[in-house]
Structure 1
């Protein structure tokens, strides 16, 4: 009986380890791929280029309305597929979300569709130190 408990615990541990490795592998893939298809920039560089680009906030509408970077357009990640065609290919695309994980995923999708000039705010809106606008 004790051998069966050890065996079951061993299997559970192996399954958990495989899941953990899959999650880590996925995050590593996104990080590497994101760096390949987009330039990840700090606040200062983001501020310099965003005025000549399409500035897109990927957070949900409620978060956008609570505060967003001045001049940003809201395309929530959940609606990205539907609204993607409104993004021009002939202009730089500046992306941000709360951190940078959604921006990386969107950058990969945009790159697959032929977009070339893509920038991601490294620290996300969470650490943005520039001008912010709140919607009513």
Structure 2
């Protein structure tokens, strides 16, 4: 993963960019399993678990930017690589994944008293 990132074969965005992605209705895939998704998720994120994503490829647009996250980054990394190999050109992993998003957003939600971006108790 590190070498792919170093040599530009793998694209990602930082957790600090996630709020803008959600607010602009970007296409975000939550690659966690359904039970994980139900416990908390980003608003507007589409739940396409790694275990189902090959059967649900038709739901993933090729003509727009796609952002993917899971709990820790491993599943989303695998999906990004597979999608790129299938011809998807604009696929990005969200660095830090759901754990990083939750920590970053929670801190900023408390400090700025802004609307929450993550549902549930996560």
TM-score bracket, normalised by the shorter chain, equals: 0.7 to 0.9
Using the TM superposition, give the Cα deviation of residue 34 of structure 1 relative to its aligned residue in structure 2, in angstroms. 5.6
Taking only aligned residues, the RMSD between alpha carbons, in angstroms, comes to 1.7
Whichever of the two has the greater Rg, that structure is 1
Say whether residues 1:32 and 2:3 are aligned partners: yes
The TM-score with structure 2 as length reference comes to 0.76
The counterpart of 2:28, out of the listed 55, 58, 62, is 55
TM-score, normalised on structure 1?
Answer: 0.69
* Distance in 1 (alpha carbons) for counterparts of 2:85 and 2:96: 24
Q: Distance in 1 between matches of 2:9 and 2:87?
A: 10
Q: 1:93 to 1:120 in 2, by over 3 A?
A: same
The reply on whether 1:46 has 2:18 as its aligned counterpart is yes
> Residues 107 and 44 from structure 1, CA distance in 2 versus in 1: closer, same or farther, beyond 3 angstroms?
same
In the alignment of these two chains, the number of paired residues is: 105
Question: For 1:62 and 1:56, how far apart are their aligned partners in 2?
Answer: 15
Residue deviations 1:57-86, cap 9 Å, x none? 000000000000111010010011101121
Deviation, structure 1 residue 39 = 1.8
| Counterpart secondary structure, 1:95 | strand
